[in-house]
Structure 1
Amino acid sequence: MKKLFIVVLLFLLLPKVEAQTSDDNYKEPIVKAIKTIESIFKITIIDKDGLLKGKELDYAEWRIRQGNLDVSLTAILAPFDLTFFKENDSTYAIRKFEYARRSATIGKERLEFLADLYPNLKAWETRKADLKQCIISSIGLDKAPPMPKGKPILTPKRIYKDYSVENIGLEIIPGVYVTGSIYKPYPLKGKVPVVITPNGHFGDGRYRKDQQLRCAMLAKMGAVVVDFDLFAWGESTLQFESTLHRNSIAQTIQVLSAERLLDYLTTQKYADMNRVGVTGGSGGGSMTMFLAAIDDRIKVSVPVVMTSSHFVGGCPCESGRGLHLCGNGTNNAEIAAMAAPKPQLIVSDGGDWTATVPELEFPFIQKTYGMYGKQSLVENVHFPKEGHNYGESKRMAMYPFMAKYLGLDISKVKNSKGEIDESTCVIEPTEKLLVFGTKGEKLPANALKDINELYALFGEKNEKVYEVKK
């Protein structure tokens, strides 16, 4: 009798579990629905950031499709702007939705869809032309005011072993100056190839060591090389403060800067515009792919650590203008494929979103080159144990590729052992790379400093809202 009393008491003390019914729209915590999904599909779902805590959903378990895990998870998570990433065959992780980042599984799905859109060269050429026009329009290049006719601002040259450096300030649209440096072979004789080197979000931008090294090395090999500041980075902050870098107009100005620098070089007798290359890493890799896709002057491209089917760059300066919505949806792998059949080296690593390039993105791009019978003109160098950078090993892969297809003399940068040697390059302090002086005292009087006026030059309104810090 005593044992029976204890059992009854324990039963009464248990929390009540109320059945969900249509009377309350079957509302329940989504963690319960997630548990059901785990049970059905024999998987583990991780919520390490507590994103599911306290969230309830009407008809939660009714949204589950027992034969489709992806659809089930999407149906439960999407109402809360959450998504999921496959960690391995049996583990999934809950994350906040990011428009620029998806899982590798979704990347694979998208590439398969895209491949079905153009089974032959004619269909591909049609899509490529449509994408090109849409990308140009999305970025806003077709609305850009003409480049002012004034001469660029050039600083005195610094002469080093086999190359020179001078800084340039070029007014690309009224009141907006792009600042950068021009590296030239020294002495400069005859017509030489051109390489433009957009930089990414690596530390000190174009002033950092690895950016200077690749510019100097390419110049020593025989190319005129131009790099430039990102929008609202470096000397650009004399006009637009650094917080404005995350305005979508940054993407417009950065691509336009590269275009107008190439326009300027077209006017220079030493520039062989039939031999133009582009290379950059991270955000500079994004610009490399965009430029190779839309500018027929680009003959050789080397995008570094950015070619991906599932990540398009989280900074608005890479993805803010919506160009990846072109053609009812594209991605950086397809944009890289638009360079076909021109030589392209895709550099990837195991420590970021390019980890899948050898198995996923490269075969897709290579197939596109194959439509032209030019599969051999696209290559992939993958560094599985390296991370997100444009480090020495990646530069060593780029130099011979550029030399091969731009007609550069790689022997100019080899030491007595036959090794590519960067040690003779001079790393200049930041102040030597400045156009407008250490305090910006030489900034032209007409320099635009109002972000709203910048948007207006393109016939747009600045919709970006900032939090006011108190």
Structure 2
Amino acid sequence: MRSTRAQDSDRQYRMPLKDVLQQIEARFGVKIKYNENQVKDRNLTYALWRFRPTVDETLSQVLAPLDLKVNKEKEGVYKLKEYEYYRWPVQEGWEKLDTLAARYRNKASWELRKDSLRKELWSALKLSPLPAKPVSKPIVTPVRKMDGYTVQNIALEILPGVYVNGSLYRPMKAKGKIPVVLSPDGHWQGHRFRKDAQIRFAMTARMGAMAFSYDLFGWGESGLQFKYEDHRKSLSQTVQTLGAVRILDYLLSLPDADTSRVAICGGSGGGSQTVLMAALDPRIKLSIPVVSLSSYFYGGCPCESGMPIHLCGGGTNNVELAAMAAPNPQLVISDGGDWTAHMPEHDLPYLQKLYSYYGKRELMENIHLPQDGHDFGFSKRKPVYDFMIKHFGLNEKAVKDKQGNYDESKCTIEDEKALYVFGKNGEKLPGNALKGYENLEKLFQ
């Protein structure tokens, strides 16, 4: 007859996770919050062998094999969460950045790293080589005239049957060549149709630049071709990157586009795309990632981290990718209410050091708003305006009142459907429009 000890070994000291958490609570005098779905049917082998002298060590040992973690809400209270690959402890993010920084000591070694990264990024996105560009012409709506600017909706075919839709804001009376500003946006409710988004695009146009805002994959009019939930799939990052490249191709083909003054500015997830595009495309000469950049946050949506871009070059992060924009002017806007809260402490000095390799440390700026949260309010828009005026020579008088304050009151806020290309109900969607994520996947096989 086999011993009890042998039988226990055969079962690998297996216990239901719920029972293990209860024992942790009892042993360390803490509270662990969770819902039943998080622990249902989850078991842990060698359960009690994973206990360590402290509660934090024990929780790490117990939860990591199950792809779980906890957030510490306050002393003695923890909340169970699924493991988030894209969110690291602050110190771990900083240590990763330090490891990356040790790989280069001067401009020459950094340029080698940057060139290698760029090639790997294109490959990781499945965009090396770039797919053939469809020969179809842009689909445009009539121009709408506003106070000091115009708006026109445009759709571009970026892959066979796949369209990116957006709106082009232009100055009403422009002379000579004018700057180009790509304007991706984040995951805020309403996306590019929001009031604050429309104001930013309109103000950019009133200052004398053209701004193009466009739909996230699966959102806005892209929802005519793909489901809303498709945005949370990996190819969303690839399609959004390709869309930005094709938009830039189109804008720079316009006779009045100034190819020496090309910018990209976006917030949150749009900030992640801002960093990626500035790293990938040398045509971009100025970048402004807003409430997004951090060494310990990789982007919580697959449109930011769904493809293995952060595994390139033996591992990278968004701050190193942002450094690839050097020595072009870059403004990072951060706040105290999200993962950008520690930007001035560690990430900014790293970026300034990389810019100093080119003798351009002053071109790397940070506006940190410790009392602000995760939004694109006026406190963020103002430094965006200031930065573009400073580096692109835009007309500040066109957007300021007699007291020298920015005046956004002349910006028209349109109904969402007024910004559609394919009609209020999608009735003008081209006949060749590809539908369904499974068909999109076939284009990349």
Q: TM-score, normalised on structure 1?
A: 0.85
Given residue 84 of structure 2, which amino acid in structure 1 is its aligned partner?
E
Specify the alignment match of 1:345 in structure 2. 331
Given residue 24 of structure 1, which amino acid in structure 2 is its aligned partner?
D
Using the alignment, how far apart are the partners of 2:363 and 2:188 within structure 1? 29
Identify unmatched segments of 5+ residues in structure 2: none
Using the alignment, how far apart are the partners of 2:107 and 2:168 within structure 1? 39
Specify the alignment match of 1:48 in structure 2. 33
Q: Structure 1's 165 and 187: CA in aligned 2 closer, same or farther, altered over 3 A?
A: same
> Aligned runs of 1:58-457 on 2, under 5 Å?
58-60=45-47, 62-63=49-50, 74-85=60-71, 94-457=80-443
Query: 183-192 or 142-151: which moved more?
Result: 142-151
Q: Structure 1's 52 and 236: CA in aligned 2 closer, same or farther, altered over 3 A?
A: closer
Aligned to 2:397, what secondary structure does the other structure show? helix
Using the alignment, how far apart are the partners of 2:27 and 2:328 within structure 1? 47
Residues matched between the structures, number: 434
Offset from partner CA, 1:121-158 (integer Å, 9 cap, x none): 33322222222111111112225421212221111111
Aligned to 1:124, what secondary structure does the other structure show? helix
Using the alignment, how far apart are the partners of 2:250 and 2:43 within structure 1? 59
Q: CA deviation at 1:343?
A: 0.8
Offset from partner CA, 1:16-57 (integer Å, 9 cap, x none): xxxx9787348376448857996xxxxx86522266799764
Q: Structure 1's 431 and 381: CA in aligned 2 closer, same or farther, altered over 3 A?
A: same
Q: Structure 1's 451 and 90: CA in aligned 2 closer, same or farther, altered over 3 A?
A: closer
Contact 2:25 2:32 in 1 (8 A): no
Aligned to 1:357, what secondary structure does the other structure show? coil
Given residue 8 of structure 2, which amino acid in structure 1 is its aligned partner?
D
Using the alignment, how far apart are the partners of 2:30 and 2:419 within structure 1? 51
Using the alignment, how far apart are the partners of 2:26 and 2:319 within structure 1? 36
Specify the alignment match of 2:8 in structure 1. 24
Aligned to 1:47, what secondary structure does the other structure show? strand
Contact 1:250 1:316 in 2 (8 A): yes
Contact 1:197 1:225 in 2 (8 A): yes
Using the alignment, how far apart are the partners of 1:89 and 1:22 within structure 2? 40
Q: Structure 1's 142 and 71: CA in aligned 2 closer, same or farther, altered over 3 A?
A: farther
Aligned to 1:296, what secondary structure does the other structure show? coil
Q: TM-score, normalised on structure 2?
A: 0.90
Offset from partner CA, 1:161-198 (integer Å, 9 cap, x none): 22111110111111111111111111132111100100
Contact 2:171 2:207 in 1 (8 A): yes
Using the alignment, how far apart are the partners of 2:214 and 2:196 within structure 1? 14
Contact 2:227 2:436 in 1 (8 A): no
Q: Structure 1's 243 and 91: CA in aligned 2 closer, same or farther, altered over 3 A?
A: closer
Q: Structure 1's 120 and 144: CA in aligned 2 closer, same or farther, altered over 3 A?
A: closer
Q: CA deviation at 1:252?
A: 1.0
Aligned to 2:91, what secondary structure does the other structure show? helix
Given residue 96 of structure 1, which amino acid in structure 2 is its aligned partner?
E
Aligned to 2:435, what secondary structure does the other structure show? coil
Using the alignment, how far apart are the partners of 1:115 and 1:61 within structure 2? 40
Using the alignment, how far apart are the partners of 1:117 and 1:37 within structure 2? 45
Given residue 346 of structure 2, which amino acid in structure 1 is its aligned partner?
L
Aligned to 1:394, what secondary structure does the other structure show? helix
Specify the alignment match of 1:3 in structure 2. none
Contact 1:185 1:224 in 2 (8 A): yes
Q: Structure 1's 37 and 112: CA in aligned 2 closer, same or farther, altered over 3 A?
A: farther
Q: Structure 1's 101 and 137: CA in aligned 2 closer, same or farther, altered over 3 A?
A: same
Using the alignment, how far apart are the partners of 2:108 and 2:23 within structure 1? 47
Aligned to 1:380, what secondary structure does the other structure show? strand
Q: Structure 1's 147 and 55: CA in aligned 2 closer, same or farther, altered over 3 A?
A: closer
Based on CA coordinates, which of the two structures has the bigger radius of gyration?
A: 1
Contact 1:145 1:174 in 2 (8 A): no
Aligned to 2:345, what secondary structure does the other structure show? helix
Q: CA deviation at 1:387?
A: 1.3
Q: Structure 1's 119 and 441: CA in aligned 2 closer, same or farther, altered over 3 A?
A: same
Using the alignment, how far apart are the partners of 1:88 and 1:112 within structure 2? 29
Q: Structure 1's 325 and 69: CA in aligned 2 closer, same or farther, altered over 3 A?
A: farther
Q: CA deviation at 1:73?
A: 5.0
Query: 93-102 or 332-341: which moved more?
Result: 93-102
Contact 1:145 1:458 in 2 (8 A): no
Identify unmatched segments of 5+ residues in structure 1: 1-19, 39-43, 460-470
